[in-house]
């Protein structure tokens, strides 16, 4: 048999494409589930925070990543707390005075962390794995 009498054909690109499509569907399904779970745990005053919870799928940088959260500036303070109650001692000590939207002056030492994002994720790890496994089996 001569050196060039055979040819190797692969379908690596096609297989990779199918796997990536299934992975994207899996992250879509898992992130949809997580939006509901996070909204259920979000602190409700005006409902603005709960309504702001959304999801994105990022496929840049060679990684496929699902993100669930809020774009509201104060969401991080709800999650990690403020003032004397902030996690890791990172908040202001001694309290402070501020004027509320009602025009009244208030004193606070801060607020305790609500951990609605982390609690939702931690309590749904098994559900997330199950959703991803189901989607990946349906290649």
Report yes or no on 91 lying in a domain.
no
CA angle at 134 for the pair 129 and 136, rounded to the nearest 5°? 95
Longest Cα–Cα distance in the chain: 93
Q: What is the length of the chain?
A: 139
pLDDT of 114-131, one tens digit each?
999 999 999 999 999 999
- Look at residue 94 in the predicted model and tell me its pLDDT: 92
Range of the domain at 32: 12-78+113-137
Distance, CA of 90 to CA of 98 (rounded, Å) = 20
Report the pLDDT value the prediction gives residue 62, as an integer from 0 to 100.
79
Return the structure tokens found at 110.
Answer: 């801060």
Contact indicator for 111, 81 with CB cutoff of 8 Å: yes
Token pair for 28: 């879509």
Q: Is 16 among the domain residues?
A: yes
Task: Dump pLDDT digits (tens) for 56-109.
Answer: 999 888 789 999 999 999 999 999 999 999 998 888 999 999 999 899 999 999
Asked, for residue 85, whether it belongs to a domain, the answer is: no
pLDDT value for 1:
53
Determine, yes or no, domain membership for 71.
yes
Interatomic CA distance for residues 3 and 1, integer angstroms: 7
Model confidence at 2, pLDDT cuts 50, 70, 90, reads low
Q: Are 58 and 94 within 8 A, CB to CB?
A: no
């Amino acid at each position: 048999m001569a050196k060039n009498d055979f040819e190797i054909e692969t379908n690596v690109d096609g297989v990779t494409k199918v796997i990536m499509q299934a992975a994207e569907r899996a992250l879509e399904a898992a992130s949809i589930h997580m939006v509901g779970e996070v909204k259920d745990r979000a602190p409700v005053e005006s409902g603005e925070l709960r309504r702001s919870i959304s999801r994105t799928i990022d496929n840049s940088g060679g990684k496929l990543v699902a993100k669930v959260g809020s774009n509201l500036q104060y969401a991080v303070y709800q999650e990690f707390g403020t003032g004397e109650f902030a996690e890791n001692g990172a908040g202001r000590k001694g309290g402070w005075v501020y004027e509320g939207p009602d025009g009244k002056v208030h004193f606070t030492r801060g607020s305790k962390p609500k951990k609605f994002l982390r609690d939702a994720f931690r309590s749904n790890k098994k559900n997330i794995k199950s959703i991803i496994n189901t989607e990946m089996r349906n290649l």
